[in-house]
């Protein structure tokens, strides 16, 4: 808890303090900057595994793997092993309002109205062939102790694996929705908790977005009905920090992934656009190395420029994500999970 409080700082009023203890919360960057947080380095404790460390620091599974490619995934980590905690982020290239979910990053950002802060948490998203869609919507309902009305499509898919769901799962430890849920408009999708915390930071759901139990409780108590929700697909992000340009890359969603050549072209064009008119010198060897094996961490790729910079948002660059037409992916008699 101490480490989380150190990250929160003293920039919010006491009335927010109780609900933010279980959430990574940062002051928004100043004008011309796009980065929040900082990388932490910790030592593992005896008996800890990757899931224990990830949950302790509000990190998802794949984020931990990207930042620590050699870490033991399946059994306890050796005591006193140095672990990189990737708690530094380039903010997504969208308006900084409401809830923003970046699918390849497996992460949610919430910008409370009237507060100069951003709350960020890891999530789980839809599995391959159950892709969570990109869309713009809003929270239309907050549900405590939700019942899960199991969609026929999910029941049928589970039955093929020998798992037989009832039509309705009541609140309790067997309910995959956990104790809290936020219903999104236009589609039968939820942001909800889970009874399987080890799934956070993975593609593990049938389309909904899962959060750690303590994280969804904090978000549930913080967000009002009507909060906008924008789900985007940004496998790479660029942003300024004190005159230096940074690049953050995550593995693209498998079913939407482009070739490395196409990825390189996209990233190169974006960097050229962002640095146009500046005296930034780009280290393309660093860029190419990060494209080849993404670390999921913001990496400095330029010299420090003189004069002021515009954040990626302020420069009004277009987002890489697209919003498909609103057609249901699952049958509408229940929620996916």
pTM of the model as a whole? 0.87
Mean pLDDT value across residues 65-73 = 93
Task: Name which of 151, 194, 230, 235 is nearest 51 in CA terms.
Answer: 194
Active site (annotated) includes residue 192: yes
| Res 11: pLDDT | 37
Mean pLDDT value across residues 211-237 = 97
**Number of Cβ atoms within 10 Å of the Cβ of 152:** 12
3-state secondary structure of 101: strand
Mean pLDDT value across residues 139-149 = 96
Q: Which of 149, 192, 281, 330 is catalytic?
A: 192
Active site (annotated) includes residue 281: no
| Res 5: pLDDT | 34
CA atoms of 54 and 110, how far apart (whole Å): 20
Question: Is 70 exceeded by the pLDDT of residue 203?
Answer: yes
Q: Which of 149, 208, 250, 281 is catalytic?
A: 208
CA atoms of 90 and 78, how far apart (whole Å): 31
**Number of Cβ atoms within 10 Å of the Cβ of 239:** 25
| Res 304: pLDDT | 84
- Per-residue pLDDT of 225-266, as tens digits, reads 999 999 999 999 999 999 999 999 999 998 887 889 999 999
Contacts of 215 (CB under 8 A, 6+ apart): 22, 23, 58, 121, 122
Contacts of 243 (CB under 8 A, 6+ apart): 304, 305, 306, 309
Helices (H) and strands (E) in the chain, counts: 8, 20
Residue span(s) of the chain under CATH 2.40.440.10 come to 2-38+87-232
> Token digits for 181?
């849920």
Question: Is 60 exceeded by the pLDDT of residue 329?
Answer: no
Q: Give the mean pLDDT of the chain.
A: 86
Contact 178, 193 (CB under 8 A): yes
pLDDT tier for residue 157 given thresholds of 50, 70 and 90: confident
- Architecture of the domain defined by 2-38+87-232: Beta Barrel (2.40)
């Amino acid at each position: 808890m101490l480490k989380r409080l150190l990250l929160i700082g003293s920039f919010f009023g006491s009335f927010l303090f109780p609900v933010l203890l279980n959430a990574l919360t940062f002051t928004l960057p100043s004008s011309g900057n796009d980065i929040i947080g900082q990388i932490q380095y910790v030592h593992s404790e005896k008996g800890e595994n990757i899931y224990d460390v990830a949950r302790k620091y509000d990190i998802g599974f794949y984020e931990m793997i990207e930042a620590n490619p050699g870490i033991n995934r399946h059994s306890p980590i050796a005591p006193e092993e140095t672990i990189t905690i990737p708690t530094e982020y380039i903010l997504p290239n969208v308006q900084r309002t409401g809830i923003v979910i970046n699918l390849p990053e497996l992460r949610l950002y919430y910008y409370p109205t009237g507060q100069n802060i951003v709350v960020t948490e890891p999530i789980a998203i839809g599995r391959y062939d159950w892709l969570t869609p990109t869309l713009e919507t809003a929270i239309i309902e907050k549900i405590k102790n939700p019942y899960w009305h199991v969609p026929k499509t999910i029941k049928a898919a589970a039955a093929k694996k020998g798992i037989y769901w009832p039509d309705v799962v009541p609140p309790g430890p067997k309910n995959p929705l956990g104790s809290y849920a936020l219903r999104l408009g236009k589609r039968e999708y939820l942001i909800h908790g889970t009874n399987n915390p080890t799934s956070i930071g993975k593609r593990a759901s049938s389309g909904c977005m899962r959060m750690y139990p303590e994280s969804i409780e904090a978000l549930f108590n913080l967000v009002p009905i009507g909060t906008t929700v924008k789900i985007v697909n940004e496998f790479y992000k660029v942003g300024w920090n004190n005159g230096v340009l940074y690049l953050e890359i995550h593995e693209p969603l498998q079913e939407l992934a482009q070739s490395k050549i196409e990825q390189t072209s996209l990233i190169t064009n974006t960097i050229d656009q962002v640095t146009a008119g500046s005296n930034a010198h780009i280290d393309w060897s660093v860029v190419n190395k990060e494209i080849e094996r993404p670390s999921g961490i913001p990496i400095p790729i330029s010299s420090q420029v003189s004069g002021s910079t515009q954040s990626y948002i302020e420069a009004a660059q277009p987002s890489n994500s697209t919003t498909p037409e609103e057609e249901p992916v699952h049958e509408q008699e229940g929620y996916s999970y």
